[in-house]
Amino acid sequence: MGISPAPVGAWWFAWIALVPLWIYVKRAQGQVCLAMRLGLMWGVGYQGAAVSWLTGLHPMTWMGLSWWTSLTIAVVCWLFVTVYGALIAAFWSGWMAWRAFKLPIYSRILVGTAAWTTLEWLWTQSPLWWTPISYTQSPANLVILHLGRISGPTVVVAALVMVNGCLAEGWTAIRHRWRYRGTAIALLIGLHLLGLSLYLQPLQANQDTALDIGIIQGNVPTRIKLFKQGLELGRKNYEAGYRQLADQGVDAVLTPEGAFPFLWRDQPPLVEAIQEKQVVAWLGSFMPEDHRITQSLITVLADGSILSRYNKIKLVPLGEYIPFESLLGGVIGRLTPVSTQMNLGKPDQQFLTPWGPAIAGICFDSAFPQLFQKQAAQGGEFILTASNNDPYNTRMMAQHHAHDVMRAIETDRWTVRSTNTGYSGVINPHGQTLWRSQPLVFATHAATIYRRQTQTLYVQWGNWFLPSLVVLSLIAAAPSFINTGK
């Protein structure tokens, strides 16, 4: 399962990778602790491989840390995130061994699917999340990702678990093995045909809604970003990129998260160039708020004034803020070079532009689909994401791009990505990547996108599929639970 996500993209393994866990947990029926250990082992394998890029935090000697301290921090972060994500498989396995395998086969498949999707949903409500099994399909299997238009990534997760469950039951069943294997094959084909029907819907390119956007990938390494060398390189790269794109006739220019890593003050960098070229810019910087700061994306108009700002909602724990600060603030040393504690952005923000509302996301926000769904429901017509993926390697860059591909499909919106070191890109509403930058280079690109006001079922109703699935699974399981109780 660990090689299913980008950049390896062996997405087909995800349709069978749960089968061994399902079989071994079934054999451990009634042995909850054993089942949880099996689930934890599976989860560590998947999560550990998927987020192995976290070790790229090392070395952090530029922050004044010793080499060994830096290595320790990077390994601890990787292990913590790995185990935290692996708990999903552990809890799921414990539940299945405790109750679900007492049910008839189709009921247990339904209950197992509902249990996994519920656990993943709970994790998306937490401050730390990255590795839904649905993202194993992105960006390679765009057809199945179109099920996200129905009710977000939950539908893709349910499809994966259900097919794996049918295959596992077909492997272990004493009778009617081919019935369950046939069900798995029928589900696999049927779900892909449903996704294909959504994928083949034509995109309307109305020139009245066209918008030419320039992208700057500044390529300013984090290790020098806050020092004189990095600040000068940033000013130089972003001003040169802005002027180049303005001369190409774009309507607006997008910069990455933290392109200007200091508090926004009177006459900040690039404003003179903006006033001269008269081209709107979306700039990544820090904004003061209640004696703290926010990680923000700012809409700067042609006269240099600020029209709107979007504050990052999902800050990186320990890197950008301290969870439970009143309890842990005096104990945990922060890993971020920013000297002021950050405020989390509010989830009900609306990001206005001269062309109407947009959907904004800053870096870690991309892993949380509900943030994009809410903004689309409020009228957001296109997606802008700004990120800083340094110091991580291309594995992380590819996975971050994969998340934005899913958000573009779910909301049926054109997406423009600007990152510091890669991958920047342009994605259409069908998830097709029209342009993706090379990593670790300074780059600019101009692209035409189209504003859209369509409303997918997911945008209109949110994650309606999950409660429906839970209720259906309870109805299916209730008779067996009642009989077992007697």
257 is catalytic: yes
CB 462 within 8 A of CB 378: no
Sign of CA dihedral 324, 329, 335, 339: positive
Q: What angle do CA 244, 246, 247 make, to 5 degrees?
A: 65
Secondary structure of 74-90 as H, E, C letters = HHHHHHHHHHHHHHHHH
Rounded alpha-carbon distances, angstroms, from residue 425 to 6, 63, 221, 239, 443: 15, 30, 19, 20, 11
312 is catalytic: yes
E runs forming strands in 314-365: 351-353, 356-362
| From 257, 320, 381, 410, active-site residue | 257
Sign of CA dihedral 289, 236, 283, 353: positive
Which two tokens mark 327? Answer: 């309890």
77 is catalytic: no
Which two tokens mark 144? Answer: 């199945």
Place of tokens 């045909």: 193
CB 476 within 8 A of CB 111: yes
Exposed/middle/buried for residue 154 (C-beta within 10 Å: 0-12, 13-18, 19+):
buried
Rounded alpha-carbon distances, angstroms, from residue 82 to 41, 93, 250, 284, 422: 11, 17, 42, 30, 24
Q: What angle do CA 326, 329, 330 make, to 5 degrees?
A: 110
Which two tokens mark 462? Answer: 């949110």
Q: Does residue 74 sit in helix, strand or coil?
A: helix
Place of tokens 């600040």: 231
| From 26, 277, 312, 314, active-site residue | 312
- Rounded to whole angstroms, the Cα distance separating 343 from 163 reads 42
| From 169, 363, 381, 410, active-site residue | 363
What backbone phi and psi angles, to 5 degrees, belong to 283?
-110, 135
- Strand-pairing partners, residue 317, are 321
CB 148 within 8 A of CB 155: yes
Which two tokens mark 425? Answer: 């890109």
Catalytic positions, written as ranges: 257, 312, 363
